Amino acid sequence: MSSIATSLLDLDADNFKCLEAEDYQTRVGKWCAGCGDFGALNAIKRLLAKEQLRPEKMVFVSGIGCSSRFPHYVNAYGFHGIHGRALPIATGLKLARPELDVFVVTGDGDCLSIGAGHWIHATRYNPNMTVLMLDNNIYGLTKNQTSPTTPAGYTTNTSPRGAVLPPLDPLQATLGVSNASFVAQTADWVPVHLYATLQAAYQHNGFSFIRILQRCPKYTPDLFEDQVKNPDLTEQLVHEDGVDAPGLDKLFKARREHDPKNLDEARSLAHRSDMLRLGLFFHDTSLPVYNEIRAVKPVSAEEKVARLNKEFDRYAV
């Protein structure tokens, strides 16, 4: 943990120093210039500063990929896990330490390919955590392989003649899982909407799944190029219970009133391909939250050591 977080460990809430957004970043992100991960990091820093979250009271968990470098750059506890395993790690962490704010940062390859089983069941379990799924439609860290969301026909190192399968739609898949409680989509090139979506997700008690559309400046720079140049190709979902992103009415002429409690309409809008849609697709606060119905009894440090020694003794020769 960074020196800022360490210096705050012994302070009570009344003496807590007010932190600015930059106080929540530990070092410069090592991403390519123009990477959407920078936008996500900036939005997170704004959120943490707005909520004045204490660095020692939150944790960022990731798997493997460009986006999974996130924990190295945020002034908080961090767990850089193995490929596809961020969600079970985060779920176990939330069960053991329910008082912590848990954020998961994952990518389209990390979450939707090797981690697909964990993603589906984490959605079903509905633990209270905020999940940022940064989707650039490619395996970027391992240098240009087809990912589950790569568009059909898109050329990559593993699909030199173009991807042959239709891409997986994370929104449709998540909305099809029982107990899904918060499903939203935003984009790195609309920072106001990105921040507002993160804020709504953080305030939700349950599994908040956010698909963040972005472009990889190295391998998929042309993705969403039409939508970036022409905002009329994007439709903003609006509702009094949705994502409140002020000022975008002048940017996006296409605005649809969508009640995020309407699951059938949410699935229909996710399925349609006539427009790129940003907003809160579904939100249900009535569903059971896993870390509340499966609370773990606190265990002392001495008891933890005793249990570990007992387990080790089982394998003693």
Question: Whole-model pTM above 0.75?
Answer: yes
CATH code of the domain made up of 3-313: 3.40.50.970
Per-residue pLDDT of the chain (317 residues; tens, 9 = 90+): 444 444 444 445 555 689 999 999 999 999 999 999 999 999 999 999 999 999 999 999 999 999 999 999 999 999 999 999 999 999 999 999 999 999 999 999 999 999 999 999 999 999 999 999 999 999 999 999 999 999 999 999 999 999 999 999 999 999 999 999 999 999 999 999 999 999 999 999 999 999 999 999 999 999 999 999 999 999 999 999 999 898 999 999 999 999 999 999 999 999 999 999 999 999 999 999 999 998 777 788 899 899 999 999 998 88
3-state secondary structure the chain: CCHHHHHHCCCCHHHCCCCCHHHHECCCCCCCCCCHHHHHHHHHHHHHHHHCCCHHHEEEEECCCCHHHHHHCECCEEEECCCCCHHHHHHHHHHHCCCCEEEEEEEHHHHHHHCHHHHHHHHHHCCCEEEEEEECCEECCCCCEECCCCCCCCCCCCCCCCCCCCCCCHHHHHHCCCCCCEEEEEECCCHHHHHHHHHHHHHCCCEEEEEEECCCCCCCCCCCHHHHHCHHHEEEEECCCCCCCCCCCCCCCEEEECCCCCHHHHHHHHHCCCCEEEEEEEECCCCCCHHHHCCCCCCCHHHHHHHHHHHHHCCCC
- Residue ranges per structural domain of the chain: 3-313
